[in-house]
Amino acid sequence: MPQQGAAEIDGIRAVGADPALEAEFDTVAAWTEAAVAELGEDHAIPAACRGSGSPADLAWLADGLDLHDDDRFLDAGSGLGGPTAWLIREYADRWSGPVVLAEPMPHAAAASRRLFGRPAVAAWSEHLPLADDSVDAAWCLGVLDTTEEKRTLLAELHRVLRPGGRLGLLVLVARREPSEDLSSNSFPSDESVERDLEATGFHVLDRRDAASTASAPDDWQRREEAVQAVIARDHADDPAHREAEHQHAVLGRLMSAGEVVSVLLRSRAY
Ligand SMILES: C[S@@+](CC[C@H](N)C(=O)[O-])C[C@H]1O[C@@H](n2cnc3c(N)ncnc32)[C@H](O)[C@@H]1O
């Protein structure tokens, strides 16, 4: 990635952002953005939480971030930015610090900026365009299970977090050998996630299975489904839509069988 020199991203010191990547196009993100434009702004947050679970999962992780006042916050692998938009809304009475979203799919990063008005950079979390110790807290939701480079990614999050900074993780974990292959994922075990966190400078403070938190309320699910219905109406024949549906169905079967579970972790950098 070309180095662009130091810059400010809404008050957070950044280095090495690659604006050229942002010109590229990420299909599903564009479709979701168009569906939200059709259905209304109240659909944006549910539609833009892609794989981050229910508001109860987000609330449990958010409680562990210890955010207040002008704390600086990073969403690593932010997708369309729904979780951070939710966080900003829910924590408005105690926290108003700068936020940066980092997402490697350039169109998703750009779409999140348009949907929620927060700065987003196109970047892999193994190589974040942020200075050392530049954020006080971060979360990384549904990302660790998509990369083989788990320790590189965690070490990079450790680099940009200040000592004592909090990290929230949502990770899809394999509880036994998955019976189907999901090409986009590399599921860790419970033990390997803990080992990787300890090896990269994090203490695990608490953890729980997402299944133990409440599922999303009906109106959240209705909005999510309405967005999916508009996307299917307009793009069902597109190979990208069929591939996304296939991945979704495989993951659904792995999770129903208990082979893969969603795990939430609160941790602190030391
Ligand atoms: C399941 S989605 C979750 C998106 C968002 N965190 C959320 O919860 O709504 C996984 C996201 O991780 C991104 N991703 C995949 N590999 C990544 C990596 N190595 N570094 C950062 N993000 C990555 C994908 O582009 C995708 O947006």
* pLDDT tens-place string over residues 171-219: 999 999 888 888 778 899 999 999 999 999 999 999 999 988 888 999 9
pLDDT exceeds 90 at position 246: no
Asked, for residue 1, whether it belongs to a domain, the answer is no
Give the distance (Å) from ligand 1 centre to CA of residue 203: 23
DSSP H or E run through 203: strand 202-209
Model confidence, pTM: 0.91
pLDDT exceeds 80 at position 14: no
Find the range with the poorest average confidence among 21-30, 81-90, 107-116, 172-181: 21-30
Asked, for residue 24, whether it belongs to a domain, the answer is yes
Find the range with the poorest average confidence among 52-66, 137-151, 172-186, 220-234: 172-186
Atom of ligand 1 nearest to the CA of 105: 25
Higher model confidence: residue 69 or residue 27?
Answer: 69
Number of domains in the chain: 1
Asked, for residue 125, whether it belongs to a domain, the answer is yes
Contacts of 88 (CB under 8 A, 6+ apart): 99, 116, 118
Q: Distance between CA 265 and CA 60 in Å, rounded?
A: 9
Give the distance (Å) from ligand 1 centre to CA of residue 77: 4
DSSP secondary structure string for all residues of 241-257 = HHHHHHHHHHHHHHHHT
Asked, for residue 109, whether it belongs to a domain, the answer is yes
pLDDT exceeds 70 at position 13: no
Longest CA pairwise span in the chain (Å)? 49
pLDDT value of position 212: 86
pLDDT value of position 224: 93
pLDDT exceeds 80 at position 86: yes
- Residue 165 near ligand 1, beta carbon < 6 Å: no
Asked, for residue 27, whether it belongs to a domain, the answer is yes
Atom of ligand 1 nearest to the CA of 76: 21
Asked, for residue 21, whether it belongs to a domain, the answer is yes
Find the range with the poorest average confidence among 35-39, 135-139, 248-252: 248-252
Question: What CATH number is attached to the domain comprising 232?
Answer: 3.40.50.150
pLDDT tens-digit series, residues 150-167? 999 999 999 999 999 999
Asked, for residue 96, whether it belongs to a domain, the answer is yes
Asked, for residue 39, whether it belongs to a domain, the answer is yes
Q: Distance between CA 231 and CA 241 in Å, rounded?
A: 8
Tell me which of 84, 86, 103, 116 to substitute to probe ligand 1's pocket, judged by most ligand atoms within 8 Å of the beta carbon.
Answer: 103
Give the distance (Å) from ligand 1 centre to CA of residue 176: 23
- Domain of residue 57 covers 6-175+184-269
Atom of ligand 1 nearest to the CA of 149: 19
- What is the average pLDDT value for the chain, to the nearest integer? 89
Of how many residues is the chain composed? 270
- Residue 185 near ligand 1, beta carbon < 6 Å: no
